Chains A and B, each alone.
Chain A
Amino acid sequence: MEKLAATSPAGVLLDLSGVLILLLAFACLGSKLFNRYVAYYGAQSVVLAFAAGVAASTFHSIQLWVLAGFTLAIKGIGIPLATRRLLLRRLALGRDAAISAGLSTSLIAGGGLTAFAYLVTRPQLLPHGVVAAAVVPLSTAVILLGALAMVLRRHTVAQLIGWLIVENGVFLGAITLVATFPFIVEAGIFLDIAAGVLIMLVFVSGLTRELAEASAAELRGLRG
């Protein structure tokens, strides 16, 4: 398999997309409004679809084009739209009050995690032959940032977005494997995410009906 050199136009575009995706994860970590979370997640997914498109045109892979289309349709448009319509608007969610650390603390922790991701997965540590090795630390950092958002935010909707950001990070890493994940697996992953979001929307709405506010801070019935 040909390698995506960091100096080739496609390599540069892929790296740039990776950086943008990381920045959008930071933006999400640094905001307090629910519709911003969703907006940043949507933007991140659009950039991800663009990155998949770059890889698709470089490797002339129809399969990757289809995946780029899926990403745009499901993650870039479908999920943000559904979250807005079914959760944010219906439950009138505005400002997220259930954050257990200040925004600046969150961002500093995020910076630390990014540095850690680079330490563990910098390109020199990866075997030769990984396509676009520079993207791997970026994707690892996005995974960690998403997980951090899930830990620091206790509102169920914020946790849902955090999980989706983790998912985007993994997908960014998967692009660098290009031809290796069989199509049926990629399609299955999309199906899982769509079904997962759907079932989580049901739970969040149900919880909101039962409790005053569906914040995990209030989820204290079950302990010990």
Chain B
Amino acid sequence: MTPRRALLIACGLLLVGAWPRLAPRYFVFLASVILVNAVVAIGLNLLSGYTNQLSFGHAGFLAVGAYTAAVLTLRAPGLPVPITLVVAGLLTAAVGLAFGVPCVRLGGLYLTMATLAFGLVVTEVILNLDALTNGADGLRVPAARLGTAALSTDAARYYLTATVAALMVAGAVNLVRTRTGRAFLAIRESEIAAEASGVPVRAYKTLAFGLSAFYTGVAGALFAFVVGFLSPDAFDLFLSVDFVVMIIVGGLGSVPGSIVGAAVVTLLYDGLAAFQNYRPLIFGTILIAGMLFMPGGVSRAVSRFLGR
């Protein structure tokens, strides 16, 4: 790591750490939402950006993680929050693997359709398991607990989210230096060449499904604590589409791009809230203009600007 890069990261971490002292409460909440979305975007990017499997069902994985965390916290109130997060992540990963194993042989649009169907089925399942999930009425999520302390302020929830997001980002960035990461990169460049070079493409694609679901499940648990209320209609197709927008706007196959995409989309949604009926009109126009003038998303535009 170059000194300049280390300085940049240190400044970034300082800003993220000091944010609740600098910003009003609402912006602390907004920052938490951005971080949650960034974790989902990174997870989706591992799947779509690296192994070319476009998913329109990540709202479904997010819902699995969120409801797991909520039900755990309700049924076992004393459970420390790291355990809740890990259990939510692992359970979602298991669901992702169970879905990924049969679906890995589907290509392109067929996989997209299957994930879309998965997302819709998940909402239906949540509605039907109303003994656990309280069905359409929604579920109020109690505050996360860490030892004896309850994380019940916006700042506390923000610090939880920021810590977990930092770990997840570090994990994703370092993943590319592992054997698995190099396999993902090879698949991203060319599936056929990867296969020919002895990379077991199917196994890694399935693994990408599990990994992506793990990220999204952890993000779902954070989402449950940050937002505090879950209802099945929050996890609709439009949310899945938003995640896809985040990674394409940010840049496919790029971790910083995922974060930027999540921030851009979340802030746009929030900033345009005042315009009510004009919001989708403006948002849609920005999407069209953005893709016309910045094909490849923000990350490609930045690297072109820096002349790399």
Q: Do they bind each other? A: no
A interface list, Cβ under 8 A from B: none
Interface residues of B (CB under 8 A from A): none
